[in-house]
A = this chain, B = another copy of it.
Amino acid sequence: MMAASLMRMVLTVALLFGAAVSPALATDREALLTQPGVYGTFAAFQMDHDWWDLTGEARVIAVSEVKGLIEQFSQKIVIESYLLRGLSDHADLMFRVHAQALSDTQQFLTSLLGTRLGRHLVATSYLHGLTKPAVYAPGFSEPMKHALQSSTPEAGTKSYAIVIPIRKDAEWWALDQDTRTTLMQEHTQAALPYITTVKRKLYHSSGLDDFDFITYFETDKLDDFHGLIRALEQVKEYRHDRRFWHPTLLGTIRPLDDILELFAR
């Protein structure tokens, strides 16, 4: 009965958003995660205190509803989950969603918030960005290009993820492209020693939220990540960062089942 009601809800949502959830069409997960022109959303939530007043059984049912929902949506969008609880002070969990359209992401998050569990989630930070081809790299010097090509990040899953949104000051945008390329080459030079152990991904935000960029990091070595940030603070481009750091979201990369398990117990 629960499964039926879940399915009914998903179908209603699908109708409401004018989008057919087609289980037959497999998502090109790899493309969404690597290509430009994809929308990335970081959605951090806090669990409200009333959640814990539910019976254990009610929590288990609620968690199972969310799992079903995410499975449905995984046909179309890529959903990754993070445990922020215990590391970030105003958030318990975070989803990173990659989608061809933000309306797909909205459809997912709205459905999530409409579940029994979702009604206990408080949305603390939504950040949206767009992936783009590298803006400055084509203008870098040959040695720098070579250095970048010959650096391979370690393969495999990382433990930690960090999200830092950034706004540039007006002076930055007033610089000409060449000057910015020079500054970004210095920035990239400083980052080189950390390429192997710290994965980075950049999202362009201007207009989509209060920021210009979302910088996303994954690493097993938090001390290397810290070293990278210190190195980046010492280059001239850093002077153009405003509101750099806040909100810094720090968490661990976790399968959804693990995270939900914490809230089902």
CA distance A225 to B186 in the complex (A): 30
Docked Cα-Cα span, A85 to B126, in Å, equals 10
A39, A83, A222, most chain B CB atoms within 10 A: A222
What is the bound-complex CA distance between A73 and B12, given in angstroms? 29
Q: Please provide the 5 A-B residue pairs with the shortest distance between their CB atoms, ordered closest to farther.
A: A207-B229, A86-B109, A86-B106, A89-B126, A86-B110
Closest approach, in angstroms, between the C-beta of A180 and any C-beta of chain B?
Answer: 10
Which residues of chain B are within 8 angstroms of A185 by Cβ–Cβ distance? none
Chain B proximity mask over A228-257: 1 for CB below 8 Å, otherwise 0? 111001101011010001111010100000
Chain B contacts for A229, CB-based, 8 A: 206-207
CA distance A245 to B168 in the complex (A): 12
Q: What 1/0 flags go to A131-143 for Cβ under 8 Å of B?
A: 0000000000000
- Asked whether A130 lies within 8 Å of B226 as measured between CB atoms, the reply is yes
Q: Is the CB of A85 within 8 A of B103?
A: no
Instruction: Tell whether A105 is near chain B: CB-to-CB under 8 Å.
Output: yes
Does A162 sit within 8 A of B, measured CB to CB? yes
Comparing A25-33, A44-52, A60-68, the segment that makes contact with chain B is A44-52
Measured between C-beta atoms, what is the minimum distance from A46 to chain B in Å? 9
* Contact residues, A1-40 vs B (CB, 8 A): 9, 12, 16, 37, 39
- Asked whether, in the complex, the Cβ of A106 is within 8 Å of the Cβ of B87, the reply is yes
B49-A48 in contact (CB<8A): yes
A252 contacts B123, C-beta separation under 8 Å: no
Chain B neighbourhood of A110, CB < 8 A: 83, 85-86, 262
Question: B88 contacts A265, CB within 8 Å?
Answer: no
* Contact assessment for A207 and B234 in the assembled complex, using a CB-CB cutoff below 8 Å: no
B16 contacts A90, C-beta separation under 8 Å: no
Min CB distance A95 to B, Å, is: 11
8 more A-B contacts (CB under 8 A) besides A86-B108, A204-B230? A43-B89, A86-B107, A87-B126, A89-B123, A167-B245, A170-B238, A208-B250, A210-B245
